[in-house]
Amino acid sequence: MSMDFNQASDLLKGKVALITGASQGIGKEIAYRYERAGADIAFTYISSKDITHELEKELTVRGVKCKGYRVDASDHDATHEMVADVIKYFGRIDVLINNAGITDDGLLLRMSEASWDRVIGINLKSCFNTTKAVLPHMCKQRSGSIINMSSVVGIKGNAGQTNYSASKAGVIGFTKSVALEYGARGIRCNAIAPGFIETEMTAKLDPKVVKEWTDKIPLRRGGNTDDVAEAAMYFGSDLSGYVTGQVLQVDGGMLT
């Protein structure tokens, strides 16, 4: 599905995208890709202000409107206030990408309630918060694409990640239910389930662990943020105009 700059430059022109958790990794790459495709971008973060201001500056210099919001997506009221400001500032929201997520791994018997609640809150409740906040607006304009970031472990599970796996499985059920409820209003809702993606987080892993993972992948490599961002480009654009309620595995064949 790869395309060059000239082919992609107008794919999202005139659209406004809201991306949660865009200060690094997959979310940051999606922001760059959407900017190059002509979209105006609002994004959330909870990390360094300096990193975020740099991203905001870069995207604005390239010619689109861009605004960052320091918001914990698991906070219901703060999220609704943020969405209201996005609509006020940009005038509309065409694409919502629920990308905010964390891990806090551990075996179930050793997992604290706080660890469970925090992962479920940021990974799953955040989808409820942002989607509920944008739906009245999307229903009014009778169009919109909602893209939720799941994971292959939400499909197959993973030892030591009961909280993360449960949150990502919940994202899939949430996605399919929203697609059924709001398709008649012209709103599409799909999920992306990345596999082993090389990010700042995976860069800290022991090379032996990485090799064990990649040896099990049919394409014999880890994915990169570009691979996931291109899937988000597809779902956010009119190329997927007749696609909703789907889960796209970007995993190099890991679950084949």
Angle 31-46-179 (CA atoms, 0-180°, nearest 5)?
55
> Within a 13 Å sphere around the CA of 200, how many CA atoms are in the beta-carbon half?
8
160: Cα separation from own chain's centroid? 23
Burial class (CB in 10 A: 0-12, 13-18, 19+), 64: buried
Q: Is 89 known to be catalytic?
A: no
What is the residue-wise DSSP string for 33-64?
HHHHTT-EEEEEESS-HHHHHHHHHHHHHTTS
Q: Which of 164, 182, 234, 242 is catalytic?
A: 164
Instruction: Give how far Cα 38 sits from Cα of 41, 78, 90, 196, Å.
Output: 9, 28, 14, 29
Query: 223 phi and psi, to 5 degrees?
Result: -80, 170
* Residues ≥6 apart with Cβ < 8 Å to 135: 182, 187
Position 5, amino acid: F
**Element (DSSP H or E) covering residue 188:** strand 187-194
Query: 73 phi and psi, to 5 degrees?
Result: -65, -15
> Within a 13 Å sphere around the CA of 53, how many CA atoms are in the beta-carbon half?
3
User: Which residues are designated catalytic?
Assistant: 164
